[in-house]
């Protein structure tokens, strides 16, 4: 069934489509509060920090959205603790283990999987276990095969979703790693900022769906480019994936300044350029924003606090205005990208809850029921 008269205009948006995705996006502040409460009460992160205290570095491993969690998690850990941290797709460990593990021999591997059943993550866990390397797992589904392979498990069951694509599970697993990083760094102020973030995020989120929906309904784009640097690069990748998954639209991600080096050839009014502007790289990133606007691109800018330059160059500005350290605000920075994917899909008459060709878990046919390769 389709709504033909919403807001006095014809639309192809199916009435019930995207219901779960929207609810899960909007539930994130409350979900974060619950997850942080659970983690504090069960003491798991404290035990993890004690178990792996003194490690030389961290290796975050995932697939798809979970790999983008890994990118943002690695940036957070390095920034807060000063320890080297890297992110790799699970497939890199499976296909080129020596390229990854030799360089990071003494690192703690962190296996990230919403379902705890992703085949490539399980196989990476098996490989690491066969080499007597202790691992940490982060998941939203307790009692799954990944738990049997990891030395320690951080489980966030309240963050799991009914919809196919990851939204609150992404931000909640990232939040758990950020809390762990703060514990490792003995940074109580950062922990306090994380625990205050849900209230700030809830206020930010309230008007945002209407703002993104109206922008989507009044524009038509041929392609999408999502740009970010440092800890925001993983988020830019996730923005592009949300548009690709939920809207079946072509989206790319780049480091912001790298976009100048060839990819800017695609810029035009039919290209939506999404800028995740950082505080530390603000001036340099603003220059790219202004250049792309001068080339005729349409711009959506997500920034904590904007100046006159950004306001002039943004076709749609999402200003978060969070009073917190930049890294503590990574979770709320995800909202616009998730809503962009959702409403773009709805506007195309799709159901973002169940995109074609996708399932909630990627399991390879030649795995056993318990996830082990035959």
Domain count, the chain: 2
Q: State the pLDDT at residue 191.
A: 96
Q: Which residue has the higher pLDDT, 103 or 196?
A: 196
Mean pLDDT of 154-175: 97
Render 121-149 in DSSP notation, one character per residue: HHHHHHHHHHTT---EEEESSTTSHHHHH
Residues 239 and 259 in one domain: yes
Specify whether 222 is located in the same domain as 270.
yes
* Same domain, residue pair 46 and 187: yes
Q: Report the chain's mean pLDDT, rounded to a whole number.
A: 92
pLDDT for 105 equals 75
CA angle 260, 264, 266 (to 5 degrees): 170
**pLDDT computed for residue 342 by the predictor:** 98
pLDDT, tens digit, for every residue of 76-125?
Answer: 999 999 999 999 999 999 999 998 988 777 899 999 999 999 999 999 99
pLDDT of 358 above 80: no
Of the pLDDT bands very low, low, confident and very high (cuts 50, 70, 90), residue 61 is: very high
34 and 90 housed in the same domain: yes
Buried b (16+ CB within 10 A) or exposed e, 350-371: bbbbbbeeeebeebeeebeeeb
Model's pTM, two decimal places?
0.92
CATH number at residue 111: 3.40.50.10490
Rg (CA), the chain: 20
- Expressed as residue numbers, the domain containing 300 is 207-347
Please give the Cα distance from 320 to 232 (Å, whole number).
Answer: 14
Mean pLDDT of 51-61: 94
pLDDT interval class at 374 (50, 70, 90): very low
- Considering the domain architecture, whether residues 194 and 235 belong to the same structural domain is answered as no
Mark 193-213 as b/e (b = at least 16 C-beta within 10 Å).
Answer: bbbebbebbbebbeebbeebb
351: left (phi over 0), alpha (psi -120 to 50) or beta: beta
According to DSSP, the residues that pair with 223 across neighbouring strands are 271
Closest C-alpha among 139, 135, 140 to residue 152:
135
Statement to judge: residues 304 and 215 lie in one domain: yes
189 and 217 belong to one structural domain:
no
pLDDT of residue 147: 95
- pLDDT tens for residues 1-36? 334 334 433 355 666 889 999 999 999 999 999 999
Average pLDDT over residues 264-271: 94
Same domain, 144 and 163: yes
Q: Tell me what the mean pLDDT of segment 257-284 comes to.
A: 96
pLDDT at residue 6, rounded to an integer: 43
Is residue 373 pLDDT above 80, yes or no?
no
Q: What is the pLDDT of residue 91?
A: 96
pLDDT of residue 240: 98
Same domain, 112 and 32: yes
């Amino acid at each position: 069934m389709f709504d033909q008269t919403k807001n006095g205009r014809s639309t192809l948006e199916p009435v019930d489509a995207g219901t779960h995705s929207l609810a899960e996006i909007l539930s994130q502040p409350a979900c974060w509060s619950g997850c942080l409460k659970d983690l504090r009460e069960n003491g798991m992160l404290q035990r993890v920090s004690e178990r792996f205290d003194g490690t030389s570095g961290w290796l975050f491993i995932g697939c798809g959205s979970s790999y983008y969690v890994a990118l943002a998690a690695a940036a957070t850990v390095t920034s807060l603790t000063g320890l080297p941290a890297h992110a790799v797709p699970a497939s890199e460990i499976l296909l080129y283990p020596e390229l990854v593990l030799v360089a990071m021999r003494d690192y703690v591997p962190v296996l990230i999987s919403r379902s705890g059943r992703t085949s490539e993550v399980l196989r990476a866990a098996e490989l690491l276990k066969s080499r007597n390397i202790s691992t940490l797992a982060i998941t939203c589904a307790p009692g799954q095969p990944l738990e049997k392979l990891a030395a320690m498990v951080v489980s966030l069951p309240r963050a799991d979703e009914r919809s196919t694509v990851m939204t609150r599970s992404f931000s909640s697993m990232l939040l758990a790693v950020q809390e762990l990083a703060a514990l490792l760094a003995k940074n109580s102020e950062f922990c306090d900022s994380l625990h205050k973030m849900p209230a700030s995020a809830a206020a930010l989120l309230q008007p945002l769906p209407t703002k993104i929906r109206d922008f989507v309904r009044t524009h038509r784009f041929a392609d999408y480019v999502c740009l970010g640097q440092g800890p925001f690069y993983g988020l830019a990748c996730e923005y592009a994936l949300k548009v690709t998954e939920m809207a079946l639209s072509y989206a790319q991600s780049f480091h912001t300044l790298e976009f100048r080096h060839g990819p800017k050839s695609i810029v035009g009014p039919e290209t939506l350029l999404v800028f995740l502007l950082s505080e530390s790289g603000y001036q340099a990133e603003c220059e790219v924003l202004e250049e792309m606007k001068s080339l005729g691109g349409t711009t959506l800018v997500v920034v904590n606090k904007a100046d006159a330059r950004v306001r002039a160059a943004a076709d749609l500005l999402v200003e978060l205005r969070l009073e917190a350290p930049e890294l503590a605000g990574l979770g709320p920075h995800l909202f616009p990208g998730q809503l962009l994917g959702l409403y773009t899909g709805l506007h195309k008459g799709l159901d973002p809850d169940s995109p074609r060709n996708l399932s909630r878990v990627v399991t390879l046919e030649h795995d056993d029921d318990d996830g082990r390769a035959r």
